[in-house]
Amino acid sequence: MGLNELAPGEKGVVIELYTTGSMRRRFLDIGLVRNTVVECVGRSPGGDPSAYLIRGAVIAIRAEDCRSVRVCRQEG
């Protein structure tokens, strides 16, 4: 599933990044790498972007960019 499919309050573990170029570099720079736990903490009123807790920092990411991040939903 894509990162954009996590609902607010849900957590997921990064499996793979399916992007290249500058967006891949940005994801790697913020610590969005394999086995990283990511929590969706909220969505903007319009639904895009969404805010994610990544390694202690809250980062807003557009749904279009989140589709290239594959995650596995984490229970509990």
The rounded distance, in Å, linking the Cα atoms of 39 and 51 is: 9
Helices vs. strands in the chain: H and E counts, helices first: 2, 5
What is the layout of strands, in order, in the sheet containing 11-17? 57-61, 50-54, 37-43, 11-17, 69-74
Low-confidence ranges of the chain (pLDDT < 50): none
Supply the pLDDT for residue 76: 63
CATH number at residue 57: 2.30.30.90
Q: Which domain holds residue 57?
A: 3-74
Supply the pLDDT for residue 46: 87
Supply the pLDDT for residue 47: 79
Closest CA relative to residue 52, chosen from 2, 8, 5, 1: 8
Closest CA relative to residue 10, chosen from 57, 42, 36, 34: 42
Supply the pLDDT for residue 21: 95
Q: How many domains does the chain have?
A: 1
